Amino acid sequence: MSDQSSWSGVVVKKSRGLLDGSNLYRRLTIRHDDGTESKVRVGRALWNQIDVGDRVLKEAGGDPHRT
């Protein structure tokens, strides 16, 4: 997803992994308001405060945040 895109949706899955063997990546699977799903990489702070079922909003030029 582009930095200039905006979207909102509900978290349907949280996942994390060492994809390159040294860096921990945190991803949320988001079901958007139009019914599509996508995986979004997020930082530790958002990862720790969000749960499956929470609503997430991303505004153009900003980072995703819980609503």
pLDDT at 8: 96
pLDDT at 21: 75
**Total domains present in the chain:** 1
CA dihedral 59, 60, 64, 67 (to 10 degrees): 0
Range of the domain at 14: 1-52
Q: Is 61 a member of any domain?
A: no
Q: Is 65 a member of any domain?
A: no
* pLDDT means over runs of 10, the chain (67 residues): 84 90 90 95 94 96 92
pLDDT at 19: 76
Burial of 9 (0-12, 13-18, 19+ CB in 10 A): buried
CB 29 within 8 A of CB 47: no
Q: Is 38 a member of any domain?
A: yes
pLDDT at 2: 61
DSSP symbols for 32-43: ETTS-EEEEEE-
